């Protein structure tokens, strides 16, 4: 107990000394620090904050110190998070390296791979993207065709990925590639890491119904990938992909980004007005909002229970599908309500001075929530098979 | 998804085993066939009291175990799964909550009586066919009490008194000097007529009529703002516990349906291999998990005496109302014709759930309250 109190005091002191004042304000999306070779820091403070936190290993507090992490135990991680929250400290670094590749390497990588790649992720030096979906492999992800032909000491990778978030900004990619053409569907896939500046890699951003997006198409034309860049052995890619997808679904389902934003009820009473009894001047919308706020309370409770479950050392496994399904469906309801409440005002796409308006774009963007990271239908199928043990 | 404490996990496991062995649905069917006055089994009630279930929320000093509401919710869930008829919510939860909140004198008089199963005590509050949105507001009550030299004179009518038939005491709400007051009334009294009311779930339910019922001063439990606080707490506790029972019902019918889907064959295959049914079963599972977390959170809030306990309990009741309806309807539909037969138990769960939906306020009642709470 004394150690913990001491740790809390030390963390609090250090954060106060080292977190720049400008890094103690709410962070707009365009000021997130993603790191990477080409990253344009929005300020010197942002760079300083990243470097200071990385030096302590606190960009990835749970990872072992030898891989650039903080080596903190569960209780210490909680304290660090609390103390950062207490001064409104911004997250110093967000990335697919931290959220996705790192956990996969920790689980499946060789010691040499961990020592090489993890510190680069922790310091924000290298920014990663994820090469999973292909034009003909969406829900049926294991049917990917991007081929890695064995050329002795390297694979020659040719094919196309789609929905690659930030492919045009990433330095490296972790990628599912079919390296064993004669093996069965799920057994022929390997998990390869390679540099996006390699000869033969090109990317093209995708415009969505909501406007610009972070998604890209990514093309590989005989890209040389050294054989030591394979994680977990040949044909092990699907096992790693499944592990990572569970991780991704936990993140999507539990994402604050999904659930941030305005209080729908406050928005409704301000926009639509209330009668002399304080009732919303639209009884049909009122009834729909009732269902929404009850579902929202239930989801908040469920999310808190889930976090507690994981803190107690349990793995969610296939149940990440439950969180992903419920969380994304709820966010779509929220966005629908915000549009209904907003009326004409929510329809404004852009102003004369070319300023874009977010409300209608967020509504449209939310349509993808029940598709990306595995569709709602795939989530239900996973739950039916893995949790309810229903037959194929 | 909830991580239970070791004590609660043990309580849950032992309740599950005990009820499966001694009070399965077959026991309820037997009671139903016998059409007894009480509609619950006295020896089962005795055993439940010996197991300590009646004293879960009462302090140890007064015969209880002080396990709390979260623990009680685990019992309620198992009672729901087995359709076990016992005066649990009425006495062990609502009456005990009222007595525990009313102070040491009341606890000294009633705590051990409740905890040991020597006294069944039912809340007589509702007067209208629908539970009132703001039941603490004295103006919604027609029942009145007038102070006299010796005590009080009570007149009015009450209904939906769960476990009130042949109960030892009724806790009757009435207005006294324009304020809400709670009275603890002996049932073997002149001028108090208690009639059995047979609802679709075949449990113990009663109506009460009283005209110039003379009560001693000591029958007044509490009056005024404190009465509102205490009744509010009891209603919140009752709602969260009923919601836990409804989660139990939903879990049970979902489990039975899953078994059926995985064994029933049509078109030469088990129907559980059809994606249309898999997705319905999985969605039902998600709704059960979601609701279970909300109910557990409400019960924890009651244990912590948190400010949001009423809000969470009402939300839990509203959500459980929706869930119970969804789960029982889906279970009948996915069973097909056989699900409609009385030979299967599904109908019994559907009936019990429908009664619980109305009891202490349905979805619309709590949805309206929650909206008002958000100023819309």
My answer on whether B25 and B113 are in the same domain is yes
Q: What is the pLDDT of residue A254?
A: 67
My answer on whether A79 and A139 are in the same domain is no
* CA-derived radius of gyration, chain A: 23
My answer on whether B19 and B111 are in the same domain is yes
Of the three residues A94, A118, A153, the one that is the final residue of a domain is: A94
Number of domains in chain A: 3
Mean pLDDT calculated for residue range A208-230: 96
- pLDDT tens sequence across B184-199: 999 988 899 999 999 9
Gap from A284 CA to chain B (nearest CA, Å): 13
CB contact under 8 A, B275 and A326: no
Please list every residue in chain A whose beta carbon sits closer than 8 Å to the beta carbon of residue B370: 290, 293-294
The pLDDT confidence band at residue B245, using thresholds 50, 70 and 90, is: very high
CB-nearest partner of A301 from B258, B294, B376? B294
Q: What is the pLDDT of residue A257?
A: 47
My answer on whether A229 and A284 are in the same domain is no
Interface residue B4 vs chain A (CB under 8 A): no
My answer on whether A82 and A170 are in the same domain is no
Of the three residues B119, B145, B178, the one that is the final residue of a domain is: B119
My answer on whether B61 and B176 are in the same domain is no
Evaluate whether residue A265 is within a structural domain. yes
Interface residue B371 vs chain A (CB under 8 A): yes
DSSP string, A248-298: HHHHHHT-HHHH-S--HHHHHHHHH-B-TTS-BS-HHHHHHHHHHHHHHHH
Query: Out of A251-260, B46-55, B171-180, which region has the weakest mean confidence (pLDDT)?
Result: A251-260
Gap from B254 CA to chain A (nearest CA, Å): 10
Evaluate whether residue A248 is within a structural domain. no
Interface residue B33 vs chain A (CB under 8 A): no
Sequence-distant (≥ 6) Cβ neighbours of residue A111 within 8 angstroms: none
Q: In this predicted complex, what is the ipTM?
A: 0.95
CB contact under 8 A, A305 and B1: yes
My answer on whether B248 and B365 are in the same domain is yes
pLDDT above 80 for A99: yes
CB contact under 8 A, A302 and B289: yes
Gap from A264 CA to chain B (nearest CA, Å): 10
Between A338 and A258, whose confidence is greater? A338
pTM score of the predicted model: 0.93
* CA-derived radius of gyration, chain B: 21
pLDDT above 80 for A299: yes
Gap from B89 CA to chain A (nearest CA, Å): 23
Sequence-distant (≥ 6) Cβ neighbours of residue A223 within 8 angstroms: A156, A157, A158, A194, A198, A199, A200, A201
Evaluate whether residue A247 is within a structural domain. no
- Give the SS3 label for residue A195: strand
Evaluate whether residue A67 is within a structural domain. yes
Range of the domain at B76: 6-119
Gap from B157 CA to chain A (nearest CA, Å): 30
My answer on whether B100 and B129 are in the same domain is no
Within 10 A of B291 (CB to CB), how many other CB atoms are there? Answer: 30
CB contact under 8 A, A383 and B285: yes
- pLDDT tens sequence across A103-144: 999 999 999 999 999 999 999 999 999 999 999 999 999 999
- What is the distance between the alpha carbons of residues A161 and A216, in angstroms, rounded to a whole number? 8
Give the domain CATH number at A38.
1.10.540
Evaluate whether residue A360 is within a structural domain. yes
My answer on whether B18 and B112 are in the same domain is yes
My answer on whether B158 and B204 are in the same domain is yes
DSSP string, A349-362: -B-TT-PBPHHHHH
Question: Which of A311, A312, A379, A390 is most worth mutating to test chain B (most B CB atoms within 10 A of its CB)?
Answer: A390
- What is the distance between the alpha carbons of residues B51 and B72, in angstroms, rounded to a whole number? 12
Mean pLDDT calculated for residue range B164-183: 97
My answer on whether A310 and A227 are in the same domain is no
Gap from B147 CA to chain A (nearest CA, Å): 35
Evaluate whether residue B241 is within a structural domain. yes
Compare all CA atoms of chain A with the CA of B260 and give the residue at the minimum distance: A390
Give the domain CATH number at B38.
1.10.540.10
Evaluate whether residue B363 is within a structural domain. yes
My answer on whether B216 and B276 are in the same domain is no
- pLDDT tens sequence across A188-216: 999 999 999 999 999 999 999 999 899 99
Q: What is the pLDDT of residue A213?
A: 92
Question: What percentage of chain A has pLDDT greater than the value 90?
Answer: 80
Give the domain CATH number at A328.
1.20.140.10
CB-nearest partner of B376 from A289, A304, A384? A289
Interface residue B312 vs chain A (CB under 8 A): yes
My answer on whether A230 and A294 are in the same domain is no
Interface residue B376 vs chain A (CB under 8 A): yes
CB contact under 8 A, A298 and B290: yes
- pLDDT tens sequence across B19-34: 999 999 999 999 999 9
Give the domain CATH number at B366.
1.20.140.10
My answer on whether A318 and A292 are in the same domain is yes
Of the three residues B119, B137, B161, the one that is the final residue of a domain is: B119
Number of domains in chain B: 3
- What is the distance between the alpha carbons of residues A83 and B69, in angstroms, rounded to a whole number? 32
Helix (H) or strand (E) segment spanning residue A238: helix A237-253
CB-nearest partner of B286 from A266, A268, A326? A326
My answer on whether A197 and A286 are in the same domain is no
Of the three residues B171, B190, B223, the one that is the final residue of a domain is: B223
- pLDDT tens sequence across A29-54: 889 999 999 999 999 999 999 999 99
- pLDDT tens sequence across A155-164: 999 999 999 9
Give the domain CATH number at A230.
2.40.110.10
My answer on whether B141 and B269 are in the same domain is no
Range of the domain at A13: 2-94
Evaluate whether residue A100 is within a structural domain. no
Please list every residue in chain A whose beta carbon sits closer than 8 Å to the beta carbon of residue B258: 388, 390
Of the three residues A236, A269, A292, the one that is the final residue of a domain is: A236
Q: B residues 242-261 near A, CB within 8 Å?
A: 258, 261
Q: What angle (nearest 5°) sits at the alpha carbon of residue B80, between those of residues B79 and B82?
A: 65
My answer on whether B165 and B282 are in the same domain is no
HSE toward the beta carbon, residue A29, CA cutoff 13 A:
8
Question: Which of A249, A283, A302 is most worth mutating to test chain B (most B CB atoms within 10 A of its CB)?
Answer: A302
Evaluate whether residue A392 is within a structural domain. no
- What is the distance between the alpha carbons of residues B24 and B7, in angstroms, rounded to a whole number? 24
My answer on whether A267 and A377 are in the same domain is yes
Gap from A327 CA to chain B (nearest CA, Å): 11
Q: From residue B90, how far is each of A1, B96, B133, B152 by CA, in Å?
A: 43, 9, 20, 24
Evaluate whether residue A330 is within a structural domain. yes
My answer on whether A134 and A230 are in the same domain is yes
My answer on whether A85 and A187 are in the same domain is no
Please list every residue in chain A whose beta carbon sits closer than 8 Å to the beta carbon of residue B371: 265, 279-280, 286, 289-290, 293
The pLDDT confidence band at residue A261, using thresholds 50, 70 and 90, is: low
Of the three residues A94, A119, A141, the one that is the final residue of a domain is: A94
CB contact under 8 A, A294 and B315: yes
Nearest 10 degrees: CA dihedral of A220, A223, A227, A232? -10
Mean pLDDT of chain B: 96
Evaluate whether residue B321 is within a structural domain. yes
Please list every residue in chain A whose beta carbon sits closer than 8 Å to the beta carbon of residue B4: none
Please list every residue in chain B whose beta carbon sits closer than 8 Å to the beta carbon of residue A312: 3
Give the domain CATH number at B185.
2.40.110.10
My answer on whether B285 and B324 are in the same domain is yes
Gap from A155 CA to chain B (nearest CA, Å): 39
My answer on whether B231 and B324 are in the same domain is yes
Of B166, B150, B162, B163, give the one whose Cα is nearest residue B213. B150
Evaluate whether residue B1 is within a structural domain. no
My answer on whether A198 and A315 are in the same domain is no
């Amino acid at each position: 107990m004394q150690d913990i109190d001491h740790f809390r005091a030390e963390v609090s002191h250090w954060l106060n000394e080292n977190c720049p004042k400008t890094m103690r304000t709410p962070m707009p999306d365009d000021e997130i620090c993603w790191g990477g070779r080409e990253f344009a820091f929005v300020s010197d403070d942002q760079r300083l904050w990243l470097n200071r936190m990385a030096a302590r290993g606190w960009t990835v507090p749970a990872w072992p110190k030898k891989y650039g992490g903080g080596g903190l135990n569960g209780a210490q991680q909680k304290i660090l998070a609390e103390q950062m929250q207490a001064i409104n400290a911004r997250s110093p670094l967000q990335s697919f390296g931290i959220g996705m590749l790192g956990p996969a390497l920790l689980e499946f990588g060789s010691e040499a791979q961990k020592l090489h790649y993890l510190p680069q992720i922790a310091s924000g030096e290298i920014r990663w993207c994820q090469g999973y979906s292909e034009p003909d492999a969406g829900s049926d992800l294991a049917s990917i065709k991007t081929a890695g032909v064995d050329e002795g000491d390297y694979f020659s990778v040719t094919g196309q990925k789609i929905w690659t978030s930030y492919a045009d900004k990433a330095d490296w990619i972790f990628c599912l590639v079919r390296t064993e053409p004669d093996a069965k569907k799920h057994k022929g896939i390997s998990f390869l890491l390679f540099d996006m500046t390699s000869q033969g890699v090109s990317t093209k951003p995708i415009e969505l119904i909501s406007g610009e997006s972070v998604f890209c198409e990514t093309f590989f034309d005989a890209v040389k990938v050294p054989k030591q860049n394979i994680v977990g052995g040949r044909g092990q890619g699907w096992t790693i992909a499944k592990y990572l997808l569970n991780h991704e679904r936990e993140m999507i389902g539990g994402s604050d980004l999904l659930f941030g934003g305005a209080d729908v009820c406050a928005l409704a009473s301000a926009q639509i007005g209330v009668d002399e009894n304080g009732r919303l001047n639209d009884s049909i919308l009122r009834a729909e909002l009732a269902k929404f706020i009850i579902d929202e309370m239930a989801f908040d409770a469920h999310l808190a229970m889930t976090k507690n479950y994981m803190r107690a050392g349990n793995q969610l496994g296939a149940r990440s599908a439950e969180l992903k399904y419920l969380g994304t469906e709820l966010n779509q309801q929220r966005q629908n309500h915000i549009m209904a409440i907003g009326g004409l005002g929510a329809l404004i796409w852009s102003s004369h001075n070319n300023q874009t308006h977010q409300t209608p774009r967020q509504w449209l963007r939310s349509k993808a929530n029940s598709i990306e990271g595995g569709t709602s239908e795939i989530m239900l199928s996973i739950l039916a098979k893995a949790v309810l043990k229903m037959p194929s | 998804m909830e991580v239970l404490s070791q004590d609660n996990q043990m309580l849950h496991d032992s309740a599950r085993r005990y009820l499966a062995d001694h009070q399965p649905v077959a026991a309820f069917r037997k009671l139903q066939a016998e059409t007894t006055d009480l509609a619950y089994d006295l020896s089962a009630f005795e055993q439940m009291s010996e197991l300590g279930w009646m004293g879960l929320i009462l302090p140890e000093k007064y015969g209880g175990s002080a396990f709390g509401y979260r623990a009680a919710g685990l019992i309620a869930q198992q009672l729901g799964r087995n359709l076990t008829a016992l005066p649990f919510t009425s006495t062990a939860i609502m009456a005990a909550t009222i007595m525990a909140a009313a102070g040491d004198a009341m606890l000294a008089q009633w705590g051990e009586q409740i905890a040991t199963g020597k006294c069944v005590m039912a809340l007589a509050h509702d007067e209208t066919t629908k539970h009132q949105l703001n039941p603490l507001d004295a103006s919604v009550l027609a029942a009145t009490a007038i102070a006299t030299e010796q005590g009080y004179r009570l007149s009015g009518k009450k209904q939906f008194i769960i476990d009130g038939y042949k109960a030892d005491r009724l806790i009757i709400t009435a207005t006294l000097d324009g304020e809400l007051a709670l009275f603890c009334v002996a049932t073997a009294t002149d001028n108090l007529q208690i009639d059995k009311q047979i609802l679709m779930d075949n449990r113990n339910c009663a109506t009460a009529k009283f005209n110039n019922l003379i009560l001693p001063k000591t029958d007044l439990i509490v009056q005024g703002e404190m009465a509102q606080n205490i009744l509010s707490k009891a209603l919140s506790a009752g709602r969260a516990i009923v919601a836990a029972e409804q989660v139990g019902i939903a879990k049970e019918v979902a489990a039975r349906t899953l078994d059926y889907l995985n064994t029933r064959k049509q078109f030469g295959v088990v129907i559980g291999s059809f994606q249309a049914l898999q997705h319905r079963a999985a969605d039902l599972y998600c709704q059960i998990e979601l609701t279970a977390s909300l109910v557990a959170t409400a019960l924890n809030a009651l244990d912590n005496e948190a400010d949001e306990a009423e809000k969470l309990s009402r939300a839990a009741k509203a959500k459980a109302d929706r869930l119970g309806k969804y789960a029982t309807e889906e279970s009948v539909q996915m069973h097909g014709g056989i699900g409609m037969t009385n030979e299967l138990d599904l109908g019994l769960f559907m009936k019990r759930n429908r009664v619980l939906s109305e009891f202490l306020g349905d979805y619309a009642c709590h949805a309206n309250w929650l909206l008002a709470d958000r100023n819309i």
